[in-house]
Amino acid sequence: MVKLKDVSRKYGQGEEATEALRSVDLDIADGAFVKVVGTSGSGKTTLLNVIGGLDTAYSGTAEVAGRDLKTMSDRELSRFRNRTVGFVFQHFHLLDHLDALRNVALAGFFSDGDERRSLERAEEVLVRVGLGDKLTQRPGQLSGGQKQRVAIARALFNRPRLVLADEPTGNLDTRTGGQIIGLFQELTREDGLTVVAVTHEDQLFRQADRTVRLEDGRVAEDRRT
């Protein structure tokens, strides 16, 4: 699913330059649940941005789902992100005036404009993440864990092959965070999704198949768990 070869990412020039990633090699198989850990500034978010096609100003080679990201035009990258990758963030980014169903269905409203089909798909993925009884609830009526499940459902809307999660449990208590991790594990085992999650909470992500630890932009550890 993901193949990185000698990927480096530098910000700035000359003496002021900062190396966020340094010669990273990484190979992630389909259906894997990988956690990426490391201190702040270790390169975790930059790594996700490269894998997700959000940052192409790197050296080396990055292939995702068999596509070389650097060979794509901006339009192709946009389509790739929309169809192949689902993004989940620490902050839920839900619209307060819309219920759960329409927060998820927005992804379809923008891509194909078919409201009925989008609402049907939104209901399907909300049921998949355990929120079939919360379709008409607005964000203010949902718990933190429920909001994150809505955000995950939104990421699943276009049937991506890869989900990238940046600190997905950062705003949740330990019990609720554990439930979200359990959902990710379920999605990889039952639906065949590949999940790459960045976290500071190493122990909370014990259910991941693999741990990649970054230090100063380099892969310092890569082990099965």
| C-alpha atoms less than 13 angstroms from C-alpha of 80 in its C-beta half-sphere | 20
How many residues make up the chain in this entry?
225
Sign of the CA dihedral running 193, 199, 204, 208: positive
What string of DSSP letters covers 158-188? T--SEEEEESTTTTS-HHHHHHHHHHHHHHH
Alpha helices in the chain (DSSP H): 44-51, 74-84, 100-111, 115-128, 144-156, 174-191
Residue 40, Cβ neighbours under 10 Å: how many? 7
What does the pLDDT read at residue 225? Answer: 79
What does the pLDDT read at residue 3? Answer: 98
What does the pLDDT read at residue 157? Answer: 94
The residues near 138 (Cβ < 8 Å, ≥ 6 apart) are: 96, 97, 98, 99, 100
What does the pLDDT read at residue 202? Answer: 76
What does the pLDDT read at residue 171? Answer: 85
Taking the C-alpha atoms of residue 75 and residue 12, their distance in angstroms, rounded to an integer, is: 26
What does the pLDDT read at residue 21? Answer: 98
What does the pLDDT read at residue 155? Answer: 95
Strand partners, 21: 9
What does the pLDDT read at residue 107? Answer: 83
Go through the domains of the chain in sequence order and give each one's CATH number.
2-224 (3.40.50.300)
Per-residue pLDDT of the chain (225 residues; tens, 9 = 90+): 999 999 999 998 887 889 999 999 999 999 999 999 999 999 999 999 999 999 999 999 999 999 999 999 999 999 999 999 999 998 899 999 999 999 999 988 877 778 899 999 999 999 999 999 999 999 999 999 999 999 999 999 999 999 999 999 988 888 898 899 999 999 999 999 999 999 987 777 888 999 999 999 999 999 997
